[in-house]
């Protein structure tokens, strides 16, 4: 794989960043297969894939120059990222010669499942608690071959379920309440939904009293307020499968008392997004929020729909029917006042049957949506990445904006800052490139800088920030900020995105920071070392001599502490930091 020229990479970035509403950064290339992706809340991309050097599937963090798993797993490896903890630690699962060919769960470089499960094991990652404890599940000789859920090394399901057990985690909220489902001898041949407080390890059976006997229940989500979403059936539902919020049957009133089939998808507050069918829907699968059918009137006859996501007052779903000319479209429903829009039609027009195909990925609180779609002519039959704006009922084709061409594109992850980790086929259509796209919102880099001995009342320090593309290593932006007497600074950033940061100022050593997402107001607090009078990023004899020659004057270049006079205080700062170098 050949590195891209820094000059070419920088030219592309500035062309896009200064003329468009998004910053597009290529952060990887040369992948013949893709795995899974994570995009942390502070904008760090993590993904797995197989490079063209093959055949192993590895995890890459920040860029594809950073192979995280090769040194840990040995050869014959497959690895996928799972979750990031409160301190930035990565949970992942993988196998290789170093694990004896078994699938294990790791936190950074530490295998947390091997000793717990024993031989003949298979383990899978899930989430972190608010205190950084890993939640995972697996089976091995130490569990009798049964699949259990663990917090750290503590088995939370064995005593609840008994023998012949099988348990899966579904959702973990900010209060460290885990919603999960499982079966075992202790609950007969039933499968139930449970809530476990991971701080106390107390467990409650959520579904048993609701469903009655002969029950089967699947956990879906628990909100931070403690509302639980699940679906299941039992004697109390007449064997039908219904959707429940806590103990309340959400689907019964919408589908009627006849034969029904319902599946829960998402919950925001007390609103529930679900899919169901019965004679009341003509036995077509419809999308609902609570008891409101979003899809029947929109799609018309011979319809099929699939819920995707619910955020605030907006629901994202997909569907086809007579009203879409049997094209499969992405749709966004505003709940109140009720209004539905079709981003696929907004992008491609209401075209003939079998000319367009779309899939939704994320919707935000303002109705804006990330989706992927193709059209026989508008995208040359290739799936492109789109960003839909609810307010204008219009789309931005991010694939064409970033690449200048159509390319088969897939979404790997989206975070709360509306950054998108995605992949597109290269121009030769032989490999995948990895891209990070960031909405170019007004952005500042701000915080407090600590400089020992610095006063700054007469000779303030001006910080120069270089924002560096982490993939090409090219300086993409330079911005300045003056440090006030309290040590605070604020610098405007031209293009939001993923950047490494290097900061330098007169009379202090440079500091460098690893890649971070800089989107909107971004705080970076740090310290700097004074004494680099000649600004060569080293404090040595040259700096000492310059202070001595200027001693007693008001020479700003030698005024290390910024008080307007070159005196003993400046000399002491140089001597105290003598021999230090910047980053």
Choices 3.40.50.920, 2.60.40.4130, 3.40.50.2300, 2.30.30.230: CATH for 443-576: 2.60.40.4130
**pLDDT mean across residues, the chain:** 94
pLDDT at 453: 87
How far apart (Å, rounded) are the C-alpha atoms in residues 45 and 62? 5
pLDDT at 2: 25
Please state whether beta strands 526-528 and 443-451 pair in parallel, antiparallel, or not at all (unpaired): parallel
How far apart (Å, rounded) are the C-alpha atoms in residues 359 and 345? 13
Residue ranges of the chain assigned to CATH 2.60.40.4130: 443-576
pLDDT in tens, 8-64: 333 334 333 334 699 999 999 999 999 999 999 999 999 999 999 989 999 999 999
- 5 has pLDDT over 50: no
Closest by CA to 360, choosing from 340, 342, 339, 378, is: 342
Q: Are 389 and 368 in contact (CB under 8 A)?
A: yes
Model's pTM, two decimal places? 0.92
3-state DSSP assignment of residue 475: strand
pLDDT at 13: 43
pLDDT at 470: 96
The residue to which tokens 């991309």 are assigned = 45
pLDDT at 163: 97
Q: Are 384 and 397 in contact (CB under 8 A)?
A: yes
pLDDT in tens, 309-364: 999 999 999 999 999 999 999 999 999 999 999 999 999 999 999 999 999 999 99
Kindly state the average pLDDT of the residues 362-369: 97
pLDDT in tens, 409-460: 999 999 999 999 999 999 999 999 999 999 999 999 999 999 888 887 767 8
């Amino acid at each position: 794989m050949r590195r891209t020229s820094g000059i070419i990479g920088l030219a592309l970035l500035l062309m896009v960043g200064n003329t468009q509403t998004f910053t597009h950064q290529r952060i990887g290339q040369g992948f013949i297969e893709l795995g899974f992706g994570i995009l942390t809340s502070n904008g760090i991309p993590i993904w797995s894939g197989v490079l063209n050097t093959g055949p192993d599937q590895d995890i890459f963090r920040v860029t594809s120059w950073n192979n995280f798993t090769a040194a840990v797993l040995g050869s014959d490896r497959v690895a996928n990222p799972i979750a990031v903890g409160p301190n930035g630690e990565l949970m992942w699962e993988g196998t290789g010669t170093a694990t004896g060919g078994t699938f294990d769960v790791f936190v950074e470089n530490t295998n947390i499942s091997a000793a717990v499960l024993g031989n003949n094991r298979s383990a899978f990652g899930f989430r972190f608690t608010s205190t950084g404890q890993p939640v995972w599940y697996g089976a091995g000789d130490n569990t009798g071959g049964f699949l259990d859920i663990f917090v750290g090394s503590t088995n939370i399901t064995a005593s609840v379920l008994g023998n012949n057990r099988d348990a899966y985690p579904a959702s973990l909220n900010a209060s460290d309440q885990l919603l999960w489902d499982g079966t075992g001898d202790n609950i007969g041949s039933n499968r139930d939904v449970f809530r476990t407080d991971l701080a106390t390890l107390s467990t409650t059976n959520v579904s048993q009293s609701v469903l009655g006997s002969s029950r089967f229940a699947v956990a879906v989500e628990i909100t931070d307020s403690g509302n639980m979403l699940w679906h299941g059936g039992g004697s109390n539902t007449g064997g039908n499968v219904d959707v429940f919020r806590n103990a309340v049957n959400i689907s019964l009133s919408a589908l009627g008392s006849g034969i029904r089939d319902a599946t829960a998808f998402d919950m925001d507050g007390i609103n529930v997004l679900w899919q169901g069918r019965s004679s009341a829907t003509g036995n077509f699968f419809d999308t609902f929020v609570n008891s409101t059918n979003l899809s029947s009137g929109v799609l018309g006859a011979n319809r099929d729909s699939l819920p995707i996501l619910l955020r605030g007052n907006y629901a994202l779903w997909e569907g086809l029917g007579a009203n879409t000319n049997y094209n499969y479209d992405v749709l966004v429903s505003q709940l109140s006042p009720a209004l539905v829009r079709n981003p696929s039609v907004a992008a491609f027009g209401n075209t003939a049957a079998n000319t367009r195909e779309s899939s939704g990925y994320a919707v935000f609180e303002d109705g804006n949506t990330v989706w992927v779609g193709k059209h026989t002519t508008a995208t040359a039959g290739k799936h492109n990445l789109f960003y839909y704006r609810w307010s204008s009922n219009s789309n931005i084709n991010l694939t064409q904006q970033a690449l200048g061409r159509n390319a088969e594109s897939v979404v790997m992850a989206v975070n709360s800052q509306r950054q998108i980790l995605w992949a597109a086929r290269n121009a030769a259509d032989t490999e995948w490139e990895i891209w990070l796209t960031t909405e170019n919102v007004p952005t500042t880099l701000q915080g407090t800088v600590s400089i020992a001995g610095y006063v700054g009342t007469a000779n303030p320090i001006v910080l120069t920030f270089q924002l560096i593309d982490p993939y090409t290593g090219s300086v993409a932006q330079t911005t300045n900020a003056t440090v006030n007497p309290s040590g605070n600074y604020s610098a405007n950033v031209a293009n939001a995105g993923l950047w490494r940061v290097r900061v330098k100022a007169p009379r202090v050593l440079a500091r460098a920071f690893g890649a971070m997402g800089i989107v909107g107001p971004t705080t970076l607090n740090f310290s700097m070392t004074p004494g680099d009078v000649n600004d060569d990023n080293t404090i040595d004899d040259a700096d000492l001599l310059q202070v001595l020659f200027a001693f007693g004057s008001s020479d700003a270049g030698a005024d290390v502490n910024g008080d307007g006079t070159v005196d003993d205080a400046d000399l002491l700062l140089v001597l105290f930091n003598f021999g230090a170098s910047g980053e």
